[in-house]
Chain A
Amino acid sequence: MNIFQLTVVLQNKIMQEPFGEYSWIFNLLFYIIFIVFLFYGQRFQVYIMLREVEGSLYKLRYIKDEGRKISIETIKEIGKPQTDPTVRVDKFLEYFTIAPQSLDPAGVVWKLEHILDVRDVRFKDEVKMMAPAADETQVNNLENTLEAAMALNYIYKVIRHFYLLGKKTMSLYVIMQVQMQLPLIMKEAEAYASALKAFAYGQPIGDGAGALVAAKLMHGYEMRKIPKDNIVATVPIEGRTAYVIKAEGPGGNVGKTGDAVKTIIEENDGKIATIIMIDAALKLEGEEVGEVAEGVGAAIGGPGVDQFKIEESILKYHIPINAVIVKEDIGDAVSPMRKEIFDSVDKAVERVKQVVLEKTKEGDKVIIVGVGNTIGIGQ
């Protein structure tokens, strides 16, 4: 008898006697399962969701621990500290920043700027204490590395909070909140994980696309420092004078672009024909990585202080503002620069030159701002 004949025999046997005299057991089992699911269905759903969150929590814990490990190793390697920096790193990972009160929103931008300045100084001091042998560029890179580790630590703690709360209350709605957002949160955490190594090694990241455009435009021209942590070069483009601004590299630094733009506008008594801002922007799913697009407005992310300052300055002198963006997703923005983004930088340079030609005339002055983290990008 071959396997096919055996299958036919088995089938016939089952068809002839579907459970025989014991069929009532299966009927009863069906009703029991039906009733159990009627009353405890939601609870089962909660268990399944909790299990899913638990799996992601394991991964988050691993990523967070790796982040901490990489930070400590990099500090030891670069900073050559006399004592073990582990305790200081652990303390750093728990730092928090309290946003200013906005019940009365007037002047909240300046309050926020002040808080961010204090935070920045505090972080830099802390890193210098952890890594006394590090130079300015390395201090910036270490600060970025620790900030990425800090973000991972925070994500882990928030997800753990909702997981434990869900477990404690067994509430579907508590656990559902986090379970629904989990794919996006995990994507962000993975992006920070790859950012960690990029920051530790000082590699250019996707967010630096704007800074790289500015660097390519200003390379070979005389440069000077302007507030704060920025540099400017005067570059002739088709008979126009372009003030090309970027954060000072190659350390991990975004600079205070708002102050830099304001300084150049004030230096020229507001006689600026146009401002062109270049930045990396988040792409929508389906869009190509490295796609270059053009528009108007202040292309700058972050907490909003710099965008506010730029908008205030251009409003005062009625200066038109144009934007060129390089599209990428969150993972590409904080991980080492992809080839597609690097290649699109040349396209963005051409687009900027085209905007200068179309929107200004010979003899005009323009400001070109390359926005983004300039880690791994010199000038």
Chain B
Amino acid sequence: MGKEANTATRISSFVLMVIFITLALSLTALILAITAFNYGNEIVAGILLMMGFIGVALSSYVLFQTRKRILRLRIETPAITTTIECKKCGFKSVREFQRGDYIFKEVEPCQKCNDKMLITAIYREVKEKERTFVP
């Protein structure tokens, strides 16, 4: 089971090997292009330059996409905030959610007036993505 789950979050070593070989060959092509250019063989230099750039672009794109796929697989755990309030003196404190918290639960006494405090809010904050224009 665990093995099965791992395959989804792991980059295949074969894919990685192909990506890095392409990257290495592309870099070699770029170096050769410079050499050819120095020898005055512009046509060959141009072709090698083009091949090198395409190779680098393709391998980095595939590597980026593979990484993106794995990042997409992760389940995000948003930060949950618990607000505790003293009904008597109005003292408020905000902390991270702890297992067992619930709205209207009586918790530790107030630091200011020693009266019982109450959990008044539990929520998560979401950063809105930039909105697209809607007619």
CB proximity to A under 8 Å, residues B84-135 = 97, 99-105, 121-126, 134
Q: Is the CB of A65 within 8 A of B124?
A: no
Complexed CA–CA distance, A59 and B5 (Å): 10
Residue among A58, A202, A215 making CB contact with B73, cutoff 8 Å:
A58
In the complex, which of the residues B5, B46, B103 has the most CB atoms of chain A within 10 Å of its own CB atom?
A: B103
Q: Residue on B with the closest CB to A378?
A: B104
Q: A203-B80, A339-B125, A376-B122 are in contact. Are A6 and B42 (CB under 8 A)?
A: yes
Q: Does A10 lie at the interface of the complex (its beta carbon under 8 Å from any beta carbon of B)?
A: yes
Q: Is the CB of B75 within 8 A of A65?
A: no
Q: Residue on A with the closest CB to B5?
A: A65
Q: Is the CB of A215 within 8 A of B126?
A: no
What residues of A have a CB within 8 angstroms of the CB of B97 in the complex?
Answer: 201, 203
B3 smallest CB distance to A (angstroms): 10
Q: Does A193 lie at the interface of the complex (its beta carbon under 8 Å from any beta carbon of B)?
A: yes
Complexed CA–CA distance, A194 and B8 (Å): 19
Q: Is the CB of B100 within 8 A of A202?
A: yes
Q: Does B1 lie at the interface of the complex (its beta carbon under 8 Å from any beta carbon of A)?
A: yes
Q: How many residues of A contact B (CB 8 A)?
A: 42
Residue among A10, A196, A376 making CB contact with B46, cutoff 8 Å:
A10
What residues of A have a CB within 8 angstroms of the CB of B105 in the complex?
Answer: 250, 378
Q: How many residues of B contact A (CB 8 A)?
A: 32
Q: Residue on A with the closest CB to B9?
A: A62
A123 smallest CB distance to B (angstroms): 22
Q: Is the CB of B102 within 8 A of A1?
A: no
A214 smallest CB distance to B (angstroms): 12
Q: Does B54 lie at the interface of the complex (its beta carbon under 8 Å from any beta carbon of A)?
A: no
Q: A337-B124, A338-B124, A339-B125 are in contact. Are A377 and B4 (CB under 8 A)?
A: no
Q: Does A85 lie at the interface of the complex (its beta carbon under 8 Å from any beta carbon of B)?
A: no
Interface string of A158-199 (1 = CB under 8 A from B): 000000000000000000000000000000000001101100
Complexed CA–CA distance, A90 and B43 (Å): 65
Q: Is the CB of B5 within 8 A of A9?
A: no
Q: A10-B43, A58-B8, A61-B8 are in contact. Are A66 and B124 (CB under 8 A)?
A: no
Q: Does A55 lie at the interface of the complex (its beta carbon under 8 Å from any beta carbon of B)?
A: yes
Q: Is the CB of B104 within 8 A of A219?
A: yes
What residues of B have a CB within 8 angstroms of the CB of A249 in the complex?
Answer: 102
B125 smallest CB distance to A (angstroms): 5
Q: Does A144 lie at the interface of the complex (its beta carbon under 8 Å from any beta carbon of B)?
A: no
What residues of A have a CB within 8 angstroms of the CB of B42 in the complex?
Answer: 1, 6, 9
A69 smallest CB distance to B (angstroms): 8
Q: Does B67 lie at the interface of the complex (its beta carbon under 8 Å from any beta carbon of A)?
A: no
CB proximity to B under 8 Å, residues A197-245 = 197, 201-204, 212, 215, 219
Q: Does A253 lie at the interface of the complex (its beta carbon under 8 Å from any beta carbon of B)?
A: no
What residues of A have a CB within 8 angstroms of the CB of B5 in the complex?
Answer: 61-62, 65-66, 69
Complexed CA–CA distance, A204 and B78 (Å): 13
Q: Is the CB of A193 within 8 A of B75?
A: yes
Q: Is the CB of A62 within 8 A of B8?
A: yes
Q: Is the CB of A62 within 8 A of B103?
A: no
Q: Is the CB of B102 within 8 A of A202?
A: yes
What residues of A have a CB within 8 angstroms of the CB of B102 in the complex?
Answer: 202, 204, 249-250, 376-378
Which A-B residue pairs are the 10 nearest by beta carbons?
A: A250-B102, A378-B104, A65-B5, A342-B123, A62-B8, A339-B123, A336-B124, A376-B102, A377-B103, A193-B75
Q: A62-B73, A376-B103 are in contact. List 20 more A-B contacts (CB 8 A).
A: A10-B43, A13-B43, A55-B69, A58-B69, A58-B73, A62-B8, A63-B75, A65-B1, A68-B1, A194-B76, A194-B78, A202-B100, A202-B101, A336-B80, A337-B123, A339-B123, A342-B121, A342-B122, A376-B101, A378-B104
